[in-house]
Structure 1
Amino acid sequence: MAKLYSKNVLAAPKMLPKKETIKFLLSYSQALSIVKVGKMRFECVAN
């Protein structure tokens, strides 16, 4: 057990998002509108 916990952890490779993921998130954020009415909040996604 002692050997198991004393091993060095290798650094994780950089994780970069795909272009499709970035495009999806940007288009979603542009289509999202939030309207506050009193204490309520309405979220609408325009398709």
Structure 2
Amino acid sequence: MTRESQQRRAIQMLKDGATDEQIRREFGYNQFLIDSLRKIAGEKGPEW
């Protein structure tokens, strides 16, 4: 799995309600990266 696909999966997990600990265990990400991914996950996407 590429880094990009891992991050996409982590973002989707965060949107689905995963905890920081779940992301840390699954991907080995540090808290700074998890916080950044959480911010991205909370941003509203484009409206079509």
TM-score bracket for this pair, using the shorter chain length:
0.3 to 0.5
TM-score (norm 1): 0.37
> Which protein has the bigger strand share?
1
TM-score (norm 2): 0.36
Structure number with greater CO (CA < 8 Å, separation at least 6) is: 2
